[in-house]
Structure 1
Amino acid sequence: MEPLTLADATVAANAAAVREQGPFVYGLTNFVAAPLSANALLAIGAGPAFGAAPGWPSAFAAGASAMVINGAALTSAATPDDLTTAAAAATAAGTPWVLDPVAVGAGAPAYDEVMAAVLAAGPSIVRGNASEVVALAGGDGGGSGVDSTMDSSDVVDLVADLARRLGTVVAVSGATDYISDGTRTVAVPGGSAYMPQVTGTGCSLGAVCAAFAAVTNPFDAAVAAHAVYAEAGARAEKVASGSGSFAVAFVDALNNL
């Protein structure tokens, strides 16, 4: 499997398209991840709006350029109905959208039922860690809260199989990210060891995937988003002295790519 990076012409073209078109990305996420998600979108040239204010899940999901639903939005003000309403509205309107099923399979069956209902609406991209991907496939991912206990390399074949079963693009993040549409599977190396030490980096990757989905097809969108993210992480690590300075340098790197 040949690795793919920001140097790929298609990735670079899609990154330029996001900055040129400035897509409006609506999202439902949690209070911890929202600031970094919004700042990451602004840094790459997109326009964010997050939250479940009255009417937003239906109106913004239908009217946005793209949308991201992060399951951890349920820890904030969003309700299960907000998530399913937004998913249904986006699908009906043809709005590309990303599902990040945070902590699915980690031991909360009621939460898993909500994620299953959202998944049934047909996301354009499903993005998660290795444990979450295993859980979505019906296995025991052994997730520890919101963190994975598995490596992305352990689930490469499962990513492609799940993509075929769901009829969507599936991306798993880790030391190397893997993205598949069931036919094609791409590896994206890079990033930084600081990423897991900064709250919201995985969640904001879902938002960046949504921004790219507004300007190209879901597979190329997921690949480009992960490549851009990995490059920004690698650049930020070079100037960071710890996880705090990395967080700031990471947003700067996204902005300067």
Structure 2
Amino acid sequence: MKDLEEIIKTRRNISENLIHCITHKIAVENSVNAVLLLGAKAICAENPMEVSDITKASKALSLSLGNITEERLKSIFISSKTATENNIPQILDLVGIAISNYRLDAATKLLRENKFEVIKGNASEIKKLSGKESNTNGIDVGEKDKLDINNLDEYVKISRDLSKKYDTTVLITGATDVITKDERTILVENGNNYLTLLTGTGCILSSMIAAFLSEFSGVDACILALLIMEISAELAKDERIYTFKTKLFDTMSTISDEELLKNAKVRIYR
């Protein structure tokens, strides 16, 4: 990880970079808008006949297994292979692999065949990918799996093992976000519970990470995306959920470097 101030002050280096996002219909509009707010450009092609060309023209690729269809999964494999062959950084969002063996098998095959800069999931999904028993609640983390002070060491070990296995950065999202590359782990402790009350926020975050992957390492891209989304959520908090959503996007579009540095809760895990 670079110096936090340096990372934040260079976040606009992604300006105008084209980001290819293959995500589900529920999250497409908000994901694209989030990328635009960061200064990059997004395209959400998912036709298998064109995704390779579009991925080649892009600076980064975001792939989500959420609400998966057969055709979209085919496109995901094509795009991921193209990205790997052309050294285009990509992130895989492991949505639902803890409840669906179909998605788990797809994720395992994707990771085996391609190179990902980041793999992202909640604690239940990361446990499932590691081969451990998980207690998911649909696509959400199960109560028994939630990351806290008592099981943090366990999740750090799981993330480090997966990072080494797939040569990637592993992001476990939650009240505390865990970012791991090899033996290095960084914790981000910003955010508020309102983000869990809106659908698609995980896919929005993945698209934001992909935007930053176009210029930053996996670790730095995760830190930037998390801080912008989660500090914006803290500043935008409103008792009315859809008013909060509007404020969240407004704040993400205007948040300053100074606000990010002042409010960032980032620490290196011992």
TM over 0.5: yes
**1:246 alignment counterpart:** 244
8 Å Cα contact 1:28-1:83 kept in structure 2:
yes
* Conserved? CA contact 1:29–1:51, under 8 Å: no
Output aligned runs, 1:133-172, within 5 Å: 133-149=126-142, 150-153=145-148, 154=151, 155-172=155-172
Pairing of 1:179-190 with structure 2 (within 5 A): 179-190=179-190
Taking structure 1 as reference, are residues 229 and 152 closer, same or farther at Cα in structure 2, changes over 3 Å only? Answer: farther
SS at match of 2:91: strand
* Normalised TM-score (structure 2): 0.86
Q: How does 1:20-59 map to 2 (within 5 A)?
A: 21-59=15-53
- SS of the residue corresponding to residue 152 of structure 1 reads coil
What is the TM-score normalised by the length of structure 1? 0.90
- Tell me if 1:208 matches 2:202: no
Aligned residue-pair number: 246
Q: Secondary structure at the match of 2:223?
A: helix
**Structure 1 residue aligned with 2:88, among 80, 87, 95?**
95
The 1-side partners of 2:97 and 2:116 are apart by 16
Question: Any residues of structure 2 matched to 1:97-116 within 5 Å, and which?
Answer: 97-106=90-99, 108-116=100-108
Return the offset for 1:60: 1.4
Distance of aligned partners of 1:97 and 1:202 in 2 relative to their CA distance in 1, 3 Å threshold: same
Q: CA deviation at 1:118?
A: 1.7
In the alignment, which of 9, 15, 25 is matched to residue 11 of structure 2? 15
List per-residue Cα deviations over 1:121-176 (Å, max 9, x = no partner). Answer: 12110111111111111112221221111223442332222112211000011111
Q: In the aligned structure 2, how far is the partner of 1:64 from the partner of 1:25?
A: 5
CA deviations on 1:181-236 (whole Å, 9 max, x unpaired) are 02211111111210011011111111111011101122211222212222111111
> Residues of 1 paired with 2:252 and 2:85: CA distance?
32
- Determine which structure has greater relative contact order: mean sequence separation of CA pairs < 8 Å that are 6+ residues apart, divided by chain length: 1
Say if 1:134 and 1:158, in contact at 8 Å, map to a contact too: yes
For residue 194 of structure 1, give the secondary structure of its aligned residue in structure 2: helix
1:233 aligns with 2:226: no
Separation of aligned partners in 1, 2:203 and 2:83: 19
The equivalent residue for 2:196 is 196
Is 1:79 aligned with 2:77?
A: no
Compute the RMSD of aligned alpha carbons: 1.8
Equivalent residue for 1:255? Answer: 253
SS at match of 2:182: coil
Query: Is the contact between residue 97 and residue 213 of structure 1 (CA under 8 Å) also seen in structure 2?
Result: yes
Amino acid at match of 1:136: L
Counterpart contact for 1:192–1:233, Cα < 8 Å: yes
Shift of 1:38: 0.9
Report the more deviating stretch, 115-124 or 89-98. Answer: 115-124
For the residue of structure 2 that corresponds to 1:178, the secondary structure is strand
Distance (whole Å) between structure 1 residues aligned to residue 10 and residue 225 of structure 2: 9
In structure 2, what is the Cα distance between the partners aligned to 1:16 and 1:59?
26
For 2:28 and 2:73, the matched residues in 1 are separated by 18
Identity, in percent, stands at 24
Letter in 1 for 2:212: F
